[in-house]
Amino acid sequence: MTETSIIPPCNDIFVDRLRNTMREMNPVATCTHGKTKFYVNPSLKTCSHVFLRIVSVKPPLCQPYTDPHKVLKRTKKNFTIELNGRTSTVSIDRVKRAHLIPTCEEKPILSAICCQRNLHKRLILNVARYYKGFEKNTKSS
């Protein structure tokens, strides 16, 4: 009452075809490591100062980056920065470009022009507020 499976006899033609097929097969290339290119902000190539990301666990509402640090040397993967008066080499993954506002010592003409423009805008806004208040007072009288 047991069923027996019928096994076909060994076919020499089938075995020869299988051998030829297996000889013609080429192995699949294994995965290649290290060829992935990651995005690096192009402004990091020319910046003079960078922020350094803190990698430790931080309490809530704590800044993720430290003060701007001066870049002394840069390579493809590392930055050498001035950190607390000493030089330190850090990975490019931990840095972010610092956009600094020019100070009066660096750009005195630019700073003077910016200050004049800001004062001019403030003066115009104050005059406009004064006249709006003046118009309200004259209408109610």
Residue 136 clears pLDDT 80, i.e. is over it: no
- The pLDDT of residue 132: 66
Residue 97 clears pLDDT 80, i.e. is over it: yes
Question: Residue by residue, what is the 3-state secondary structure of the chain?
Answer: CCCCCCCCCCCHHHHHHHHHHHHHCCCCCCCCCCCCCCCCCHHHHCCCEEEEECCCCCCCCCCCECCCEEEEEECCCEEEEEECCEEEEEEHHHEEECCCCCCCCCCHHHHHHHHHHHHHHHHHHHHHHHHHHHHHHHHHC
- The pLDDT of residue 78: 94
Residue 64 clears pLDDT 70, i.e. is over it: yes
Per-residue model confidence as pLDDT tens digits over 108-122: 554 455 555 666 666
- The pLDDT of residue 27: 84
Examine residue 27 and state whether it is found in any structural domain, yes or no: no
Distance of alpha carbon 94 from the chain centroid: 9
Residue 60's CATH number: 2.30.30.140
Examine residue 90 and state whether it is found in any structural domain, yes or no: yes
Per-residue model confidence as pLDDT tens digits over 44-56: 999 999 999 998 8
Examine residue 17 and state whether it is found in any structural domain, yes or no: no
Examine residue 79 and state whether it is found in any structural domain, yes or no: yes
Lowest model confidence (mean pLDDT) among 71-75, 79-83, 100-104: 100-104
Per-residue model confidence as pLDDT tens digits over 9-27: 667 888 888 899 999 998 8
Examine residue 50 and state whether it is found in any structural domain, yes or no: yes
Domain count, the chain: 1
Domain that holds residue 88: 42-109
Examine residue 54 and state whether it is found in any structural domain, yes or no: yes
Average pLDDT of the chain is 78
Q: What is the share, in percent, of the chain residues with pLDDT greater than 90?
A: 31
Task: Note whether 93 and 44 are within 8 A (CB).
Answer: no
CA angle 131, 137, 140 (to 5 degrees): 140
Examine residue 102 and state whether it is found in any structural domain, yes or no: yes
Examine residue 82 and state whether it is found in any structural domain, yes or no: yes
